Amino acid sequence: MPDVPTPTPLAAADLADLFSAPDPPPFALVRRHPHDGSASDPFDVYIGAMHTVRRVTDLPSGPPRPGGGPHALAVLPYRCLAERGLDCRDDGTPVRVMQIRRWHTADTATLTAALAAVRPAGDLRWEEAAFDDTDEEYAGRVRNLLAHEVARTGLHVLIRRDFTARLPGHGAAAVGELFRRLSAAERGAHWTFAVHTGGPRGAALAGASPQGHVSVEQGRVVMHPMCGTLRLPPGGLPAAEDLAAFLRDRKEAEELGAVVDAELAMLCGVTAGNVRLEGPGLRPLARVLHTECRISGTAALDVRHTLAGTLFAATAVGRPFAEACRVIARREPSGRGYYGGLIALLGHDASGGEQLDTAVLIRTFELSGRGTVKLSVGATVGPRSVPADEAAETRAKASALLSVFESTAATAPGDTAAGCRRADPVPGDPAPHDALEGCDTPAAAQGDGAPGGRTPGHRRTGPRSTVPVDPAAWPSVSAELDRRRALLSAHWRGRSRPGGRPAPGGPVLLVDAGGEETAALAAMLRGLGRAVEVCSVDRVAHAAGVRPGDPVAPDARVRSADRGMQGAGTRCAGPTAHGGAIRAADPLAPGTTVVVGPGPGDPFATGDDRIAALRALVAGLMSQGARTVGVGLGFHPLLARLGLAGSVRPRGEAAAQQEIDVLGRRATVGYGGAYAVLAGPHTDALARRLGLTLWYGPGDGELAALRGPRTGGCAFLPASVLSVEGAELLTLLLE
């Protein structure tokens, strides 16, 4: 059959033929809900050819079709994280892409009639259903993680468990029935979908994802970071005082800020500037309400590279993102398959511009051609986690989705027939049908298109407002939203004070110290008129004219606040990964500022080559008189070189917003590191002798910033959305 460039209605008989074919072609049923909350009963039916590709960037680009529309539907497994150089288990799960040959629409009535013609009513039953581990075993994994990873670093990481079953009578019709039930049960979903790879024993994915990730439309990359969950009472509408109290919750506000920061870092890596932040606003779903922001920027890459550069939504991984990936690779018992990956629709608009829409592969069933079903669920483990509660959360999440198998005509999973075991819901725990996977901590993004016209192929998408919450009708709620917006970065909101934007200064070499925030910091520096090059430690050392040489002498004795003075006690710049320390040689070009950026880790850890290399680089730069500024982790080797660091202590919670006196003003700033550096008994006197000005942070003796001749730095993160005056403070440090 020839390609169909525009959607045509599909009759019930034709849909029934698709479901009952002994060798069905690859197909997908996709319901994407309009962001404006309008009715969306019709769903798309895509039929085409299924292929596998090695990498996300190998996805087909496809020529534009007359009038626009989608040309490919891809499902990306979690192992694609390896394309970004991140740790993950390579379980061989394929990157599948369906090149769309036929495009139809159908509605619920058509689907119901088609299924009635090919299946007995309610014929969707399972056997041998159970979690792969017990609640006690899962809680034990959480307990071990808390003791050995989280308590030390403030890490938040989503740890999954799998529910598996056998599905007799599986096939294309069963996939269609599962899609129908998910559509009826999960009206709050961002995407409801079923993808069948074709053939009599084709594999399938079927899910109801509440969460988008990234979209591209009209030359803009858009993400909707989302966090915070308020359960709605029966009847839907919360009381105004409950909603206002939810918005006043400081922890929730800081967590949303951390979520936005994580997505902002991804966004800045794939855009060419003009980055803007809007919100927060309210996003009510069927049973819960979230807060969300909208971030967008001018697209710099094609949609395939945009997709590859934003793998994956941190809500299904954790933060810091890279460290969470490492922990998942070490501690989960197997590869994740498609869990935490993406389903993506690629196409063009009517004018030929590229379009992209995505949904996160959570709350999704994986069906094999052998009739096995797997549902992965997870809980975010953080400093405040209680192991038994996390186990209960995963069981409740699974129970909410597994209810689609429970009908009057189907064998309920708790029946004793056929030896089935049931995953019982947690007594008294309401099933969070619309709750984001891990939305209380890591990033959850909700993608939709940029403002503008809608095309038949790419509706502007996102969860609908199924509950009529109008903040304008409640003055207390509206006031709290305004207050929350005022506590986010003026720079990213486009609200920098008039005349505050400086004239372009000299070039900046930004040292990538492994922090996710580096891309956002580079974007802010460029927005302040600086020419910026982001470089590794080795490249900056080369540009600065420093080379391997004799070890750098220790600058100060640094003791750990929780361990006391370390015997020989001094944490000095030790050997680098190249087998030696580095020392200064030739100076940088005049006017260049080296900014040592943020990153994870203990700033004075012994035996850490990355930390040692940073300290040696800073020592070399300062000894040759190079203008050197440290941010976040990069601030700490600066303190050590100057002899100002007394001790280091863990923060516990990495994300925090504080109001402090700094750089001659009262400012609201965001912290992102897991460690704080404290002043020693002689820090102030030494700073005066060196001609340095110090500012202290919220903790007792915690060093927040310094400024002096050819040097400066801060422990907070100027590019964080939690730093309201971050751009102005960064400008002062660069002067």
714 lies in which domain range?
A: 496-734
User: Given pLDDT bands bounded at 50, 70 and 90, which one contains residue 124?
Assistant: confident
pLDDT of residue 654: 57
Is 39's pLDDT higher than 80?
no
Q: Are residues 449 and 553 in the same domain?
A: no
The continuous run of DSSP H or E covering 241 comes out as: helix 240-248
Is 441's pLDDT higher than 50?
no
Is 460's pLDDT higher than 80?
no
Distance CA 156, CA 151 (A): 10
pLDDT in tens, 309-329: 999 988 889 888 888 999 999
Distance CA 536, CA 527 (A): 22
| Contact (Cβ atoms closer than 8 angstroms) between residue 198 and residue 45 | no
Residue 264: helix, strand or coil by DSSP?
Answer: helix
Q: Are residues 475 and 609 in the same domain?
A: no
Query: Of 236-250, 658-672, 679-693, which gets the smallest average pLDDT?
Result: 236-250
Does residue 459 lie in a domain region?
yes
Is 448's pLDDT higher than 80?
no
DSSP string, 311-340: ---GGGTEESHHHHHHHHHHHSSS--TTTT
User: Given pLDDT bands bounded at 50, 70 and 90, which one contains residue 439?
Assistant: low
Q: Are residues 46 and 119 in the same domain?
A: yes
Give me the helix-helix angle, 172-185 and 12-20, nearest 10°: 130
In this structure, are strands 8-9 and 665-671 parallel, antiparallel, or unpaired? unpaired
Q: Over range 563-581, report the average pLDDT.
A: 29
User: Given pLDDT bands bounded at 50, 70 and 90, which one contains residue 57?
Assistant: very high
Distance CA 678, CA 419 (A): 61
In this prediction, what percent of the chain has a pLDDT beyond 70?
A: 80
User: Given pLDDT bands bounded at 50, 70 and 90, which one contains residue 63?
Assistant: confident
In terms of average pLDDT, the best of 45-49, 126-130, 674-678 is 45-49
User: Given pLDDT bands bounded at 50, 70 and 90, which one contains residue 691?
Assistant: very high
Q: Which amino acid is at 558?
A: V
57-60 contacts: CB < 8 A, separation 24 or more?
A: 57/83, 57/304, 57/305, 57/308, 58/95, 58/304, 59/95, 59/97, 59/304, 59/307, 59/346, 60/97, 60/99, 60/346
Q: Which of 428, 457, 484 is the last residue in one of the domains?
A: 484
Does residue 558 lie in a domain region?
yes
Question: What domain count does the chain have?
Answer: 2
Does residue 582 lie in a domain region?
yes
| Contact (Cβ atoms closer than 8 angstroms) between residue 632 and residue 598 | yes
Q: What is the mean pLDDT of the chain?
A: 81
Q: Are residues 650 and 603 in the same domain?
A: yes
pLDDT of residue 440: 42
Is 462's pLDDT higher than 70?
no
533-539 contacts: CB < 8 A, separation 24 or more?
A: 533/507, 533/508, 533/509, 534/510, 535/509, 535/510, 535/511, 536/511, 536/512, 537/511, 537/512, 537/513, 537/610, 537/613, 537/614, 537/617, 538/578, 538/613
Q: Are residues 506 and 474 in the same domain?
A: no
Does residue 729 lie in a domain region?
yes
Does residue 370 lie in a domain region?
yes
pLDDT of residue 426: 34
In this prediction, what percent of the chain has a pLDDT beyond 90?
A: 52
pLDDT of residue 566: 30
Find the CATH number of the domain harbouring 137: 3.60.120.10
Does residue 2 lie in a domain region?
no
pLDDT of residue 364: 96
| Contact (Cβ atoms closer than 8 angstroms) between residue 243 and residue 469 | yes
User: Given pLDDT bands bounded at 50, 70 and 90, which one contains residue 694?
Assistant: very high
Q: Are residues 659 and 698 in the same domain?
A: yes
| Contact (Cβ atoms closer than 8 angstroms) between residue 209 and residue 191 | yes
Is 413's pLDDT higher than 80?
no
Q: Which of 433, 460, 484 is the last residue in one of the domains?
A: 484
| Contact (Cβ atoms closer than 8 angstroms) between residue 361 and residue 341 | yes
Go through the chain and tell me how many residues it has. Answer: 735
More confident: 537 or 576: 537
User: Given pLDDT bands bounded at 50, 70 and 90, which one contains residue 17?
Assistant: very high
Alpha helices in 91-202 (DSSP H): 108-118, 135-145, 151-153, 172-185
Query: Of 67-81, 379-393, 446-460, 697-711, which gets the smallest average pLDDT?
Result: 446-460
Is 185's pLDDT higher than 80?
yes
Q: Are residues 715 and 587 in the same domain?
A: yes
Is 674's pLDDT higher than 70?
yes
User: Given pLDDT bands bounded at 50, 70 and 90, which one contains residue 731?
Assistant: very high
Q: Which amino acid is at 349?
A: D
| Contact (Cβ atoms closer than 8 angstroms) between residue 223 and residue 266 | yes
Is 285's pLDDT higher than 70?
no
User: Given pLDDT bands bounded at 50, 70 and 90, which one contains residue 468?
Assistant: low
Q: Are residues 546 and 475 in the same domain?
A: no
User: Given pLDDT bands bounded at 50, 70 and 90, which one contains residue 501?
Assistant: low
Q: Are residues 509 and 474 in the same domain?
A: no
The pTM for the full model equals: 0.82
Does residue 500 lie in a domain region?
yes
Cβ neighbors of 92 (< 8 A, separation 6 or more) are 79, 335
pLDDT of residue 382: 85
pLDDT of residue 564: 31
Distance CA 341, CA 262 (A): 17
DSSP string, 569-625: --------TTSSEEEE-SPPPTT-EEEE----S-TT-TT-HHHHHHHHHHHHHHHTT
Distance CA 147, CA 41 (A): 48
Q: Which amino acid is at 709?
A: P
For 625, 628, 712, the CA distances from 694, given in Å and listed in that order, are 20, 16, 10
Q: Are residues 682 and 727 in the same domain?
A: yes
Find the CATH number of the domain harbouring 626: 3.40.50.880
Q: Are residues 480 and 502 in the same domain?
A: no
Is 487's pLDDT higher than 60?
yes
pLDDT of residue 548: 43
DSSP string, 426-475: PTT----TT--TTTTSS-EE---PPSS---SS---B-----S---GGG-H
Does residue 436 lie in a domain region?
yes
Q: Over range 276-289, report the average pLDDT.
A: 83
For 500, 530, 623, the CA distances from 591, given in Å and listed in that order, are 22, 11, 17
Does residue 92 come out as left (phi exceeding 0), alpha (psi in the -120 to 50 range) or beta? left
Give me the helix-helix angle, 135-145 and 321-331, nearest 10°: 130
CA 117 to chain centroid: 43
pLDDT in tens, 470-484: 777 788 999 999 999
Q: Are residues 229 and 294 in the same domain?
A: yes
